[in-house]
Amino acid sequence: MRKVVLITGASSGMGKLTAKILHKNGYTVYGAARRLNEMQDLQSDGMSIISLDLTNDDSIVACVNTILEKEGKIDILINNAGYGSYGAIEDVPIEEAKRQFEVNIFGLARITQLILPSMRKQKYGRIVNIASIGGKVYTPFGAWYHATKHALEGWSDCLRMEVKEFGIDVVIIEPGAIKTPWGIIAAENLRKTSGNGAYAKFANKVADGMENIYSGDKLTKAEILSEVIAKSAMVDKPKKRYLKGYMAKSALFIRKWLGDNIFEKIIMTQYK
């Protein structure tokens, strides 16, 4: 019997590419996102698309129930949806900070809660959470984004231990810098939030740096990360973590083995 996969954030980037890989490998794929028009190519290729707003509980419940009513199960959940809210902590409105957590943590947690009963019933499941190397390190003006990814790391580890007895695997993907629009959008948010106030000088330098990195050729292609995500969903015995992408391993090594002082000095030299 074909395994049923739900991928959030399937309207672009790694989510869309992962959907295509799994579909080619014989999985029944549901791509979920707010923008249905951005997933028409998935539908044309034979996949199902479904509306999902992770900040709206009714939308989350409707998404899960629609798939369960049609398929009777969801074997694999890939929590890919998310965004980066950048700006000085002093400048970011708390409402925006709450929305960052709503999308990156609470919406993710809610959809997971709703799917777990069906996974427990069948004694099988795979939950793949797209975290970030940003859940292990940190950068200026990314406090709320990093906070969500650090939280996702701990949340996923706790969940893994809780559901192990039911045959459910929990996998964390930790991408480094990936060639997607994410960095450019985050830089734009940073300029909008802190580009004209007390932190303007530093904030604009950081935004310049982000734009240079994400418009260059050094970043890891989204296709490579999509292959890693798909692999983590398909293999019989997945790793607990998959670390992949530009600067991911080196950033983690520097912080772990050289300490916070050296790590912060290296980060700050990037913006001089």
Nearest 5°: phi and psi at 242? -125, 115
CA distance 106 to 99: 9
Q: Which residues pair with 169 in a beta bridge?
A: 126
At residue 147's C-alpha, the angle toward residues 74 and 260, to 5°, is 130
CA distance 190 to 167: 42
CA distance 94 to 265: 29
- 243 burial via Cβ count (<10 Å: 0-12, 13-18, 19+): middle
> In the annotation, is 145 catalytic?
yes
Q: E strands, the chain, where?
A: 4-8, 28-33, 48-51, 76-79, 125-130, 168-175, 178-179, 220-221, 241-244
CA distance 16 to 222: 10
Among 141, 133, 146, CA closest to 208: 141
Give the pairing of strands 28-33 and 48-51: parallel
Sorted by sequence, the CB contacts under 8 Å of residue 186 that are 6+ apart come out as 83, 84, 85, 86, 142, 145, 210
Query: Are the beta carbons of 17 and 78 closer than 8 angstroms?
Result: no
Per the residue annotation, which of 138, 145, 242, 246 is the catalytic one? 145
Which residues participate in catalysis according to the annotation? Answer: 145
